Amino acid sequence: MTLRLTTKVKTKSYLTAFNPEPKATQPSFLSDWHVNLFNNSTKRYLIFTEAVTLYSFVASSNGINNRKALEELATDQLFRVFKRYLGRLPQELFERNAGSVIMCKTASPRILGSQNELVWMAVAGYQSDGREDFDRLHETPMSMIKNSPRVALDNEIERNTINRRQYLG
């Protein structure tokens, strides 16, 4: 799994240096995540956004003060995604992505722009009615993917399931 961190996240987790850039030119499904830090009222959160589908999850940044804590949070949250889609995602995909974590700087201004829109919606939702239900962010249509992140994730899962069946069959 590649975590592409903003400078704010690098500073928060006390990283001294990034890993070298991975050689892959295009992000692959569920392996490339952009991570940013944001404030919502008096709380601080990390938002993890998957590069292919813009599927995002938000987690408290409490206790994230070193590389190991950030790695554990990322793999735990990735496991939650797999658990939610149990039976549709192959376990090998999780094992391959969670097996090693590479931390490098952000690579795509388009993904960061979309992520900033998701952060804005999360903060606006909290300010309007006090909700901290970040799962609703998945329903928001995003111009970069021309769909909502949940639909894009479902489409990628289906595409990967079909490809896996053809490969195994």
pLDDT tens figures, 133-166 = 677 788 888 888 888 998 998 898 888 776 555 4
* Contacts by 79-88, CB closer than 8 A, 24 or more apart: 81/30, 81/55, 81/57, 85/153, 85/157, 88/157, 88/161
Q: Which residue carries 């249509």 as its tokens?
A: 141
Q: Percentage of residues in the chain with pLDDT exceeding 90?
A: 34
- pLDDT on residue 131: 66
Is the per-residue pLDDT at 34 higher than 90?
yes
CA separation for the pair 126, 106 (Å, rounded): 27
pTM of the model: 0.85
Residue ranges per domain, the chain? 2-168
Average pLDDT over residues 66-80: 89
At residue 57, the pLDDT reads 87
CA distance 18 to 30: 20
What is the overall mean pLDDT for the chain?
84
pLDDT given at position 40: 85
d(CA 9, CA 15): 9
Among 5-9, 26-30, 41-45, the least confident range? 26-30
Once rounded to an integer, what is the mean pLDDT over residues 3-13? 93
Flag whether pLDDT at 167 surpasses 50: no
Task: Note the pLDDT of residue 52.
Answer: 92
**Residues contacting residue 91 through CB under 8 Å, at least 6 positions apart:** 82
pLDDT value at residue 129: 73
**CATH assignment, 2-168:** 3.30.420
Residue 3: strand pairing partners = 33, 103
Identify the residue whose tokens are 């404030």: 39
